[in-house]
Amino acid sequence: MARVSFDQPAVLGALGAGGFLLAWEALSRSGLVSPIMLPAPSVVLQSGVALVQSGELVDHVLASLWRAALGFLAGASLGIALGVALARSPRLHGLLNPLVQTFRAIPSLAFVPLAIFWFGIGETSKIFLIAWGVFFPVWVNTFIGVRDVSPILARAGASLGATGWRMLAFVVLPGALPFIIAGLKISLSIAMVLLVAAELAGAVYGVGYLIQLSQQVFRVDQMFVGLATLGLMGFAADLAFDRAVRWLFPWICARAGDARRDAALRRERRRVGAWTQESFTP
Amino acid sequence: MSAASSAAVIERPTPSAAAQDLPASALIRCEAVGHVYRSTLGDETQALASVSLAVADGEFLCLLGPSGCGKTTLLNMIAGFVTPTSGRIVVGGRSVEGPSPDRGLVFQDYSLFPWLTVAGNVAFGPRMAGQSAANRKTLTAELLELVGLGAAADRYPSELSGGMQQRVAIARALATDPAVLLMDEPFAALDAMTRGALQRQLLEIHERKRKTIVFVTHNIAEAIALGTRIVVLTPHPGRIAEDIRVDLPRPRRRTSNGFNTLYERLAAAIGVDMAD
Ligand SMILES: Nc1ncnc2c1ncn2[C@@H]1O[C@H](COP(=O)(O)OP(=O)(O)OP(=O)(O)O)[C@@H](O)[C@H]1O
Ligand SMILES: [Mg+2]
């Protein structure tokens, strides 16, 4: 039999997850808790399969994804545009920054009732809320990235003939890209939070709505299916985002790899340093 | 005028020639330029006193001096990044108002665009100038061949060693076919072996491309190895202490008499100990 090391991360992770599911299954079947309140994982899986087969789950997922994508796109474009504008124009910055900072200080979730009051429970309120939440981190990151663009690179660009919009498009924006992408990535999870909040507040389709509906008809198993779906959606969105970044901007990953390598080297040096110190102290 | 300390070293007229004495034909003319940095608190640092300097076409001028003597300030003024607070700088008959692709730059710190490949970096200047893709491609290939990096065209800067990055930076600066190449301690961060190799390569490029080069360094041996002329700056405030034409035959061996005589003289001018 091949030797399996229990210290491998994948093995440990699988053990942890398997143990958790088994314990949950056992608890649900033990009679200690009501199986209606806490359905076993096997039951949740069955309801999941049923929801997929009826096509219901796919409709909910598509509705949610569509809203999230539109809201994300709107909020991200506005965030990037305003971030660049404020970083490039001190006057505009002076004019708008206090305002944007004030709005940023208000938790986006607090806008749910207002958005529904203004736009109803249709698509507009949901897209608005998601865009609102996505806007701020993207704006902050873009602003910092553009403002702090490397002066050496800007000089290199200028000496090579980049002026005006060319400087912006070919030097400043690419230089700020790592920051912008970090902002977009944070916004991805924010978009999910606002999506669910908006759907819980009222919708006709969507994974959040599925959870809400299941609660009203005491289908806790379906609520769990909704929760698992949200988890998978978040995970898939993160993965797709990373893949897209790596594919579109291979240099960002090369640099990240660099930083990781440097950090590992530093750690190693510290370790060796610590070791020599210890071994030489009497 | 002091007697030349070596047959290979010929003194220039007066090191601090007045601006009106500068030859009109010179490619670069620094006419009594000075610079005072003003901090936001109002403190003033005079980085450079009135410096007059004429650089002829094809010259390889090394600006030599200790840290803080204003070498970078002078170079940045020629580049157009820093405006002189007194005097003016004329390059190719035109007063310098800002940076221009006619003056190529190589910086001390790595300055390649990390988002572009090696080829993309070299093609950047021609792209800004609106050259066709076909032109850019042949030019880039030719320049990468010149710096010996033809095989690295598709790599990203983060995948290159320091020496390779500086060679790409040189190729990139040459791509706009500038009249002048301005280099600010471009090899300072490299190990001795790489530095020697890059110095030889730069001399070859100077020979082949006939560019005028202004090269900042605080390394005496490097200045002697490279320059057809060495201008020594002394600090507080930065001014020209020596202006020496170097006619030593190439390759300039560190062990030769001419090299050592000049070394001692430059060391004395800078005021460093001969211990190092
Ligand atoms: N932005 C600045 N603001 C204020 N003072 C400055 C600034 N840049 C340079 N100085 C001062 O001007 C003087 C000349 O600086 P400069 O960078 O030109 O010297 P350098 O000869 O290039 O030195 P190094 O060899 O260390 O690069 C120094 O005393 C420095 O402190
Ligand atoms: Mg300097």
Q: Are A205 and A226 in contact (CB under 8 A)?
A: no
Q: Give a yes or no: residue B131 inside a domain.
A: yes
User: Smallest Cα–Cα separation from B179: which of B214, B147, B145, B148?
Assistant: B214
Residues 6+ apart with CB under 8 A from B21: B52
Strand, helix or coil at A86? helix
Q: Give a yes or no: residue B73 inside a domain.
A: no
> How many structural domains are present in chain B?
1
Taking each continuous run of H as one helix and of E as one strand, the counts in chain A are 12, 0
The answer to whether the CB of B72 is under 6 A from ligand 1 is: yes
pLDDT at A276: 33
Cβ count within 10 A of residue B109: 11
User: Smallest Cα–Cα separation from A233: which of A269, A197, A271, A195?
Assistant: A195
CB of A162 within 8 Å of a chain B CB? The answer is yes
pLDDT confidence band for B2 (50 / 70 / 90): very low
pLDDT at A263: 56
| Ligand number with the minimum distance to the CA of B219 | 1
Residues of B in contact with A255 (CB under 8 A): 114, 158
Question: How far is Cα A128 from Cα A135, in angstroms, rounded to an integer?
Answer: 10
Q: Which residue has the higher pLDDT, B57 or A1?
A: B57
Q: Give a yes or no: residue B54 inside a domain.
A: no
Question: How far is Cα A48 from Cα A57, in angstroms, rounded to an integer?
Answer: 8
Q: Which residue has the higher pLDDT, B17 or A160?
A: A160
Sign of CA dihedral B152, B156, B159, B165: positive
User: Smallest Cα–Cα separation from A178: which of A84, A73, A251, A87?
Assistant: A251
The answer to whether the CB of B219 is under 6 A from ligand 1 is: no
Q: In order of start, what are the domains of chain A with their CATH numbers? A: 43-266 (1.10.3720.10)
Q: Are B102 and B179 in contact (CB under 8 A)?
A: yes
- CA–centroid distance, B68 to ligand 2, in Å, is 7
Q: Give a yes or no: residue B16 inside a domain.
A: no
The pair of structure tokens assigned to A81 is 């545009």
Question: How far is Cα B31 from Cα B22, in angstroms, rounded to an integer?
Answer: 8
Residues 6+ apart with CB under 8 A from B93: none
Mean pLDDT for chain B overall: 85
The pair of structure tokens assigned to B102 is 């006619």
pLDDT at B10: 46
* pLDDT one digit per residue (tens) for chain A, 282 residues: 556 677 788 888 899 999 999 999 999 999 888 888 899 999 999 999 999 999 999 999 999 999 999 999 999 999 999 999 999 999 999 999 999 999 999 999 999 999 989 998 889 999 999 999 999 999 999 999 999 999 999 999 999 999 999 999 999 999 999 999 999 999 999 999 999 999 988 888 899 999 999 999 989 999 999 999 999 999 999 999 999 999 999 888 765 555 555 555 455 444 444 333 333 322
- CA–centroid distance, B256 to ligand 2, in Å, is 29
Longest dimension (CA), chain A: 76
Query: C-alpha angle with apex A105: A200 to A103, nearest 5 degrees?
Result: 85
Instruction: Provide the CB-side half-sphere exposure for B240 (13 A, CA).
Output: 25
Question: How far is Cα A233 from Cα B6, in angstroms, rounded to an integer?
Answer: 79
CA distances from B89 to A82, A208, A252, B242 (A): 39, 68, 40, 20
Q: Give a yes or no: residue B134 inside a domain.
A: yes
The residue range of the domain holding B135 is: 115-177
User: Smallest Cα–Cα separation from A246: which of B164, B156, B110?
Assistant: B156
Binary contact (B159, A254; C-beta < 8 A): yes
The answer to whether the CB of B35 is under 6 A from ligand 1 is: no
Q: Give a yes or no: residue B136 inside a domain.
A: yes
ipTM of the complex: 0.86
Q: Give a yes or no: residue B125 inside a domain.
A: yes
CA distances from A235 to A12, A188, A240, B154, B212 (A): 20, 10, 9, 33, 57
pLDDT at A96: 92
- CA–centroid distance, B43 to ligand 1, in Å, is 14
Binary contact (B125, A258; C-beta < 8 A): no
The answer to whether the CB of B69 is under 6 A from ligand 1 is: yes
State mean pLDDT over B102-125.
93
- Judged on CB neighbours under 10 Å (0-12, 13-18, 19+), B263 is middle
User: Smallest Cα–Cα separation from B110: which of B168, B40, B41, B50?
Assistant: B168
The 10 Å CB-count burial string (b at 16+, else e) for B27-52 is bbbbbbbbbeeeeeeeeeeebbbbbb
